[in-house]
Amino acid sequence: MNDSHKAVTIGAYVYPGWHACPERDCQFPPDWSEWDLVLNAPSRFPGHNQPRLPLDGPYDDSSPTTALKQVELAREFGVDFFVYAFFWSRGKRVFEASLDKGFLGKGGGGDFPFALMWANRMPRGVLPVKLDPGPEIDPGRLVYTDPDDFLNLIRFLEDKYFSRSNYFRINNMPLLSIFDSTFFLRQLGTGLASRTISRAKDYLSKKGYSGLHLMAINPASAMITDFKKAGFDSVSHYVWLPDWKGKYQQDYGELIKRRSNEWRTFAKESGLVYFPSVSPGWDATPRGVAHDSRRPQRYPWWPVVVGEDPALFSNFLGRAIRYTRKYNDPQLCFIASWNEWSEGHYVEPDKRFGTAWLEAIQREKQYAV
């Protein structure tokens, strides 16, 4: 149990896909971005909260001006650092302009702290998702690695990002999370994963760091004890909100009670620190084509979280802060996400609630002091 007077640090995940990029220009109309999905999202049922629109309209996240505005909002309302999704597959990168040109560009994020989440699953090549019987996750999107490739990733990250003074560290260890940590473990096996991670940590130690704080995102319950064996330092989730195989419409108020009651179980079963990650909602329907009365029971059409609002989100975040203060060292929790508009989880100002999502963060941070 930790000192209840310590401040809780809040990180928010940033989805970096809000700009046109060459990979998508070859498959979509020129200058296409996911804003096309967001702005034209249809209502799928009576009372459906779509489209969800940014208060100030769509933006280009590869612009330093956009990054500066995001950082100013984060500072004002109590978000302490950003966690950028980092798409990498054996040296190939996608969506890097948001981080490299926007946030790290001149006049962008400045000295605002940031960390990275390795998205070891490449973006979808076709959007909106079509009605076909293929696998929910195209095998071509999965990112396979090996000890040399992972070390190359760490070398690249150290040179370009970890070495920056505003890169977020835990006890002088750069924080890196792996989005599909379960696939990472299954693909390598626990033994090889352990040797791979140990090698990466040794490399960083020789560079003057105290190691690497590696966080497992979305750990499978069936493998929960393997993450510590492999060398992970903590576990968490990205979006841990709906029951993915549950009913179509799921109530936000009920979900936040259920999920917050599971955090301690993840910590006990994994033997690692569990950092709570709270989401303001979930609705990925803008990413799917229109359908007839036979609604597909799969991503992105199913499920949809309903009944979410800033007051309930404030309650959810308050639960995370109280859990963190009671159990965790360091005192750290996450919000998923800052701007995942096409999946319905964002805290940026929107036309329905204005800045109320951000005000909820500010309020809970103040209560925690």
Domain boundaries, given as residue ranges, for the chain: 9-367
**pLDDT tens string 83-124:** 999 999 999 999 999 999 999 999 999 999 999 999 999 998
Q: Which residue's entry shows tokens 């693909």?
A: 187
CA distance 345 to 26: 28
∠37-28-285 over CA atoms, to 5°?
25
Return the exposure string of 229-268: e unless at least 16 CB atoms fall within 10 Å of the residue's CB, then b: ebbbbbbbbbbbbbeeeeeeebebeebbeebbeebeebbe
User: pLDDT category, 7, cuts 50, 70, 90?
Assistant: confident
* Domain covering 9-367: architecture: Alpha-Beta Barrel (3.20)
Closest CA to 88 of 150, 23, 159, 27: 150
pTM for this prediction: 0.96
Residue 235, pLDDT score: 99
> In the beta sheet, which residues pair with residue 84?
14, 116
Tell me the per-residue pLDDT of 134-190, one tens digit each, with 9 for 90 and over. Answer: 888 888 899 999 999 999 999 999 999 999 999 999 999 999 999 999 999 999 999
User: Which residues, including other chains, have CB under 8 Å from residue 118's CB and lie 6 or more apart?
Assistant: 86, 88, 153, 176, 177, 178, 179
Q: How far apart are CA 299 and CA 286, in angstroms?
A: 11
Q: For residue 26, what pLDDT band results from cuts at 50, 70 and 90?
A: low
pLDDT of the residue at 279: 99
Mean pLDDT across 250-276: 98
Query: What is the rounded CA–CA span in Å between residue 131 and residue 25?
Result: 22
> Average pLDDT, stretch 69-75?
99
Mean confidence (pLDDT) of the chain: 95
| Close Cβ partners of 361 (under 8 Å, ≥ 6 residues apart) | 10, 77, 78, 79, 314, 317, 335, 347
Strand-pair partners of 105: none
Cα–Cα dist 336/124, whole Å: 19
Q: What is the pLDDT of residue 1?
A: 40
Q: Which residues pair with 169 in a beta bridge?
A: 174
